[in-house]
């Protein structure tokens, strides 16, 4: 049976575990440093599985040794954003947490693929990559599906079409400098520009950029349902070797003219992890924005001692 570990039993971690269980992707280990929390969440999730006829076993633990044999490790541990914070405000404290978790993954699950969900996402993924020493294809960051999901929600609310008919892509930082690509957004097989004027598209892009902060403002804590769902889709792509094209924070080795940095780009995810990075043909303006976004990430990485 496939084994999937989720590190962090807060809202995002438990949401990811629930979504993974509902897809019956494998047995799950929930790990957290808080005594009793992962065990209680695991018991609750097991009861949910029993109710829904999902043949999945969920175990809660405070011991990293229980991740041994994991095929995939989803890392959600870390501090979460508060209403007055940006993702980069979490940089130093969460880098310490991710470094500590990555050392445990390296020791106890050395053959796993690692999906980082903790913010600031792209920088934390870089920290995990450097700390584990794994091949870059086995360490990746979740965020692209979240940002695209938010964009698709806004488009659907304006156009009244099915989510199934909306496709898009995002590049760069998971943060204020993200580069949404209206030029690569389609309603069915037609470009978004056939349905929205330039002003409405720009407003939709800006609303997407502010969506995470809006969630925090309204309910008092950061999003967890959408991140959990998206992380589960990435786990599915790996476990089921789907070869799915998913916007993923991946290690760049010359793609888009960038090296030694993690940033969101379209990737083919399968059993090997990030099996291919797809290089889109970008306009000069899109490439300029991507480069600016990567610069933000490089400046953040430079503040850490890696």
Beta bridge partners of 251: 262
Q: Phi-psi category of 26—alpha, beta or left, where left has phi over 0 and alpha has psi -120 to 50?
A: left
- CA of residue 86 relative to chain centroid, distance: 17
Q: Do 175 and 212 contact (CB within 8 A), yes or no?
A: no
Report, in this order, helix, strand and coil percent for the chain, each rounded to 5: 50, 20, 30
Q: Do 75 and 98 contact (CB within 8 A), yes or no?
A: yes
Q: Which of 153, 174, 224, 225 is catalytic?
A: 174
Query: b/e for 59-94, b at 16 or more Cβ within 10 A?
Result: bbbeebebbeebbbbbbbbbebbeeeeebbebbeeb
Q: Do 17 and 25 contact (CB within 8 A), yes or no?
A: no
108 as an active site residue: the answer is: no
Cα gap 99→81, rounded to integer Å: 19
Among the residues of 210-283, which ranges form H helices? 211-219, 225-239
Dihedral pair phi/psi, residue 109, rounded to 5°: -135, 60
Cα gap 143→137, rounded to integer Å: 16
**Which residues of the chain form beta strands (DSSP E)?**
3-7, 27-31, 58-61, 72-75, 113-116, 139-141, 166-167, 170-171, 179-180, 186-187, 190-191, 244-253, 259-270, 273-277
Residues with active-site annotation: 174
């Amino acid at each position: 049976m496939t084994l999937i570990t989720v590190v962090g039993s807060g809202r995002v971690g438990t949401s990811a575990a629930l979504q993974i269980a509902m897809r019956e992707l494998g047995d799950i280990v929930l790990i957290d440093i808080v005594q009793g929390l992962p065990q209680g969440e695991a018991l609750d999730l097991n009861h949910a599985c029993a109710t829904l006829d999902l043949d999945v076993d969920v175990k809660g633990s405070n011991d990293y040794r229980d991740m041994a044999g994991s095929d995939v490790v989803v890392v959600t541990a870390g501090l979460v954003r508060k209403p007055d914070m940006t993702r980069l405000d979490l940089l130093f404290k969460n880098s310490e947490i991710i470094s500590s978790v990555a050392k445990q993954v390296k020791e106890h699950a050395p053959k796993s693929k690692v999906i980082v969900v903790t913010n600031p996402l792209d920088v934390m993924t870089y920290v995990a990559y450097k700390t584990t020493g794994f091949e870059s294809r086995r360490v990746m960051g979740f965020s692209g599906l979240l940002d695209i999901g938010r964009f698709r929600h806004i488009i659907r609310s304006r156009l009244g079409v099915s989510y199934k008919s909306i496709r898009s892509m995002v590049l760069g930082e998971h943060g204020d400098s993200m580069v949404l690509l209206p030029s690569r957004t389609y309603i069915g097989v037609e470009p978004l520009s056939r349905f929205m004027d330039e002003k409405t598209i720009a407003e939709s892009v800006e609303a997407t950029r502010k969506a995470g902060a809006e969630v925090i403002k309204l309910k008092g804590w950061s999003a967890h349902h959408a991140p959990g769902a998206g992380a589960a889709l990435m786990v599915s792509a790996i476990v089921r070797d789907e070869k799915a094209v998913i916007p993923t924070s991946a290690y760049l080795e010359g793609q888009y003219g960038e090296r030694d940095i993690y940033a969101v780009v379209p990737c083919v995810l399968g059993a090997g992890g990030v099996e291919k990075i797809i290089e889109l043909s970008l306009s000069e303006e899109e490439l300029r924005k991507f480069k600016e976004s990567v610069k933000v990430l490089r400046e953040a990485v430079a503040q850490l001692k890696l």
